[in-house]
């Protein structure tokens, strides 16, 4: 197979000043938990709605996304799935809203997951740990001694004095308590948090100018809103302040608020990408949140344009390897078409048929590591393709329409682990929608 190396040292993207909402379009994501770590990047730890939609039971395969300018986002790849959870339900799924925290050189990833087939009565809060913020996570058991009823939506807050606090809440009840220094055990007793109006789920705690904020989703029928309260300590007492984010078009919502490079951002999810009322195919969004002089929050304006860049990003492409679609192995109705506007003056069409595919073989990797696959395409409607890497189904990708099938402006990215050697394969399978594939690039992250 012909390959071509990109030898340019770097390119300066002539990017828009704003990103877009939703800002992750390659897969469906929800429940964004945003953090800024010591490396200066902002990381978002969302849940993952599996496509095609069958409700929350299929949620699985956590991915992490990061940025250093709020416009260019990087898929850090999958960090955990239900098959790795030894104590979890044998049927898998039900990997709901997570959170992550850093303390004493370790990143702790917390996630809710049932231990038994009767999922609603067997919830636990599991943990995975790593010395890196977005890779190499290993399961580390679960927090013991908690009630199994509605034990979802974990949130962990580390105060400026280094003390850590743990929260969870579902079914209309919010609980909070202290964590021991090992970040895996509750210090004392969990307590029910009072003072919250119409609490439903999705606790998030942060601190700004000495004021503690607790945000959460309410019970607004079929369209949760996000509300908040303030307090003088991590465990209250809390004073209800009002709604800061209105309905987003989802029957549920969950958000987080974080400061990054001098601005405050509100993360949430909607259904703008899937445009479906069936199941839960949600996508994460971000907009600016402003505060009044007394510390109260202003209503967040939900936008399609997203937020402004907080820096000019120079992206290196010197390690990117390009694979032309016309050089891949094809199956089904996949067909090569000549077109001077496409890279290499050719592209592959008829990828909208379910039995059509292209397969890139003999892809070389020097060592096992994360590689971002960028798929350059054109398409109309809500076109989708399935990605399979070394025989492993990586779920469906959402190829956003580019306006017409002849306009190769779209690209969809996904990060995977390749095996050492030259026997890696990447397969793109048609699902639905009119999609044409121009080429892919592979870029190592680590």
Q: Which residues pair with 140 in a beta bridge?
A: none
Kindly state whether residues 387 and 327 are assigned to the same domain.
yes
Kindly state whether residues 188 and 333 are assigned to the same domain.
no
> How much is the pTM?
0.92
Looking at the structure of the chain, the number of domains it has is: 2
* Euclidean distance between CA atoms 429 and 427, whole angstroms: 6
- Catalytic, 201? Answer yes
What local confidence, expressed as pLDDT, does residue 314 receive?
Answer: 60
Percent of the chain with pLDDT over 90: 72
Kindly state whether residues 129 and 48 are assigned to the same domain.
yes
Confidence of residue 381 (pLDDT cuts 50, 70, 90): low
Supply the CATH number for residue 274's domain. Answer: 2.115.10.20
Of the candidates 446, 437, 445, 444, which has an alpha carbon nearest to the alpha carbon of residue 323?
A: 437
Determine which one of 31, 153, 326, 352 is catalytic.
31
Of the candidates 165, 229, 230, 171, which has an alpha carbon nearest to the alpha carbon of residue 191?
A: 165
Count of alpha carbons within 13 angstroms of residue 238, beta-carbon side: 25
Percent of the chain with pLDDT over 70: 91
* Euclidean distance between CA atoms 78 and 32, whole angstroms: 15
Residue at 111 is within a domain: yes
Of the candidates 445, 389, 443, which has an alpha carbon nearest to the alpha carbon of residue 411?
A: 443
* Euclidean distance between CA atoms 290 and 205, whole angstroms: 17
Q: Tell me which of 288, 313, 335 is where a domain ends.
A: 288
How does the average pLDDT of the chain come out, rounded?
90
What local confidence, expressed as pLDDT, does residue 4 receive?
Answer: 30
Kindly state whether residues 130 and 86 are assigned to the same domain.
yes
State how beta strands 42-49 and 28-36 pair: antiparallel
Residue at 193 is within a domain: yes
Q: Which residues pair with 226 in a beta bridge?
A: 217, 245
Tell the residue number behind the tokens 């509750």, with chain if given: 186
Supply the CATH number for residue 379's domain. Answer: 2.60.120.260
Determine which one of 49, 99, 201, 324 is catalytic.
201
Q: Above 60 in pLDDT, residue 375?
A: yes
Residue at 28 is within a domain: yes
**Residues 6 or more apart in contact with residue 285 via CB below 8 angstroms:** 21, 22, 23, 248, 267, 268, 269, 270, 272, 302, 306
- Phi/psi at 327 (nearest 5 deg)? -95, 0
Q: Residue 124 belongs to what domain range?
A: 18-288
Kindly state whether residues 279 and 189 are assigned to the same domain.
yes
Q: Tell me the pLDDT tens digit for each residue of 309-320.
A: 997 666 666 789
Kindly state whether residues 405 and 337 are assigned to the same domain.
yes
* Euclidean distance between CA atoms 385 and 378, whole angstroms: 12
Q: Tell me the pLDDT tens digit for each residue of 249-260.
A: 988 899 999 999
Of 10-19, 33-42, 232-241, 382-391, the range with the lowest mean pLDDT is 10-19
Q: Tell me the pLDDT tens digit for each residue of 390-401.
A: 999 988 887 666
What local confidence, expressed as pLDDT, does residue 2 receive?
Answer: 35
Kindly state whether residues 175 and 87 are assigned to the same domain.
yes
Residue at 9 is within a domain: no
- Catalytic, 359? Answer no
Q: Tell me which of 234, 263, 288 is where a domain ends.
A: 288
Diameter over CA atoms, the chain: 69
Of 7-16, 21-30, 136-145, 222-231, the range with the lowest mean pLDDT is 7-16
Bond prior to 22 in cis (omega within 30° of 0): yes
* Euclidean distance between CA atoms 164 and 157, whole angstroms: 6
What local confidence, expressed as pLDDT, does residue 12 receive?
Answer: 29
Kindly state whether residues 278 and 327 are assigned to the same domain.
no
Kindly state whether residues 243 and 135 are assigned to the same domain.
yes
Q: Tell me which of 267, 288, 309 is where a domain ends.
A: 288
Q: Which residues of 203-235 are buried (b: 16+ CB within 10 A; e: fewer)?
A: bbbbeeeeebbbbbbbebeeebbbbbbbbeebb
Tokens of 166: 């743990």
Residue at 209 is within a domain: yes
Q: Tell me the pLDDT tens digit for each residue of 132-166.
A: 999 999 999 999 989 867 789 999 999 999 999 99
Q: Above 80 in pLDDT, residue 53?
A: no
Of 12-16, 50-54, 432-436, the range with the lowest mean pLDDT is 12-16
Kindly state whether residues 185 and 281 are assigned to the same domain.
yes
Residue at 184 is within a domain: yes
Residue at 170 is within a domain: yes
What local confidence, expressed as pLDDT, does residue 307 receive?
Answer: 96
Question: Are the CB atoms for 184 and 140 separated by under 8 Å?
Answer: yes
Kindly state whether residues 129 and 272 are assigned to the same domain.
yes
Kindly state whether residues 240 and 346 are assigned to the same domain.
no
Burial of 292 (0-12, 13-18, 19+ CB in 10 A): exposed
């Amino acid at each position: 197979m012909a390959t071509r190396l990109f030898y340019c040292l770097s390119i300066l993207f002539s990017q828009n000043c704003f990103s877009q909402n939703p800002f992750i379009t390659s897969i469906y994501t929800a429940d964004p938990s945003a953090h800024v770590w010591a490396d200066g990047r902002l990381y978002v730890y969302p849940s993952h709605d599996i496509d095609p939609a069958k409700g929350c039971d299929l949620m699985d395969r956590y991915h992490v996304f990061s940025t250093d300018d709020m416009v260019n986002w990087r898929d850090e790849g999958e960090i955990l799935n239900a098959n790795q959870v030894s104590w979890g339900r044998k049927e898998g799924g039900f990997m709901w809203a997570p959170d992550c925290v850093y303390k004493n050189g370790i990143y702790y990833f917390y996630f809710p997951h049932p231990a038994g087939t009767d999922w609603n009565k067997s919830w636990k809060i599991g943990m995975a740990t790593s010395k890196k913020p977005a890779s190499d996570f290993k399961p580390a058991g679960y927090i013991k001694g908690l009630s199994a009823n509605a034990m979802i939506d974990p949130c962990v807050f580390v105060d400026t004095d280094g003390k850590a606090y743990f929260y969870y809440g579902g079914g209309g009840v919010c609980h909070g308590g202290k964590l021991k220094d090992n970040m895996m055990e509750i210090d004392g007793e969990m307590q029910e948090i009072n003072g919250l109006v119409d609490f439903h789920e999705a606790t998030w705690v942060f601190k700004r100018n000495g004021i503690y904020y607790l945000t959460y989703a309410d019970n607004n029928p079929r369209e949760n809103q996000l509300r908040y309260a303030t307090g003088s300590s991590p465990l209250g007492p809390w004073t209800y302040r009002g709604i800061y984010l209105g309905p987003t078009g989802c029957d549920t919502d969950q958000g987080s608020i974080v400061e990054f490079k001098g601005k405050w951002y509100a993360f949430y999810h909607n259904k703008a990408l899937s445009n479906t009322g069936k199941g839960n195919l949600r996508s994460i969004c971000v907009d600016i949140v402003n505060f009044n002089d007394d510390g109260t929050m202003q209503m967040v304006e939900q936008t399609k344009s997203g937020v402004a860049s907080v820096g000019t990003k120079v992206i290196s492409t010197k390690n990117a390897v390009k694979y032309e679609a016309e050089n891949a192995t094809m199956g089904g109705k996949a067909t090569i078409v000549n077109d001077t506007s496409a890279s290499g003056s050719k592209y592959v069409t008829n990828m909208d048929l379910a039995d059509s595919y292209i397969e890139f073989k003999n892809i070389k990797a020097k060592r096992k590591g994360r590689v971002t696959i960028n798929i350059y395409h054109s398409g109309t409607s809500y076109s989708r393709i399935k990605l399979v890497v070394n025989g492993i189904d990586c779920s469906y990708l959402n190829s956003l329409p580019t306006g017409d099938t002849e306009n190769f402006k779209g690209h969809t990215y996904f990060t995977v682990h390749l095996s050492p050697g030259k026997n890696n394969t990447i397969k793109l399978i048609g699902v639905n929608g009119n999609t044409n594939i121009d080429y892919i690039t592979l870029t190592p992250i680590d």
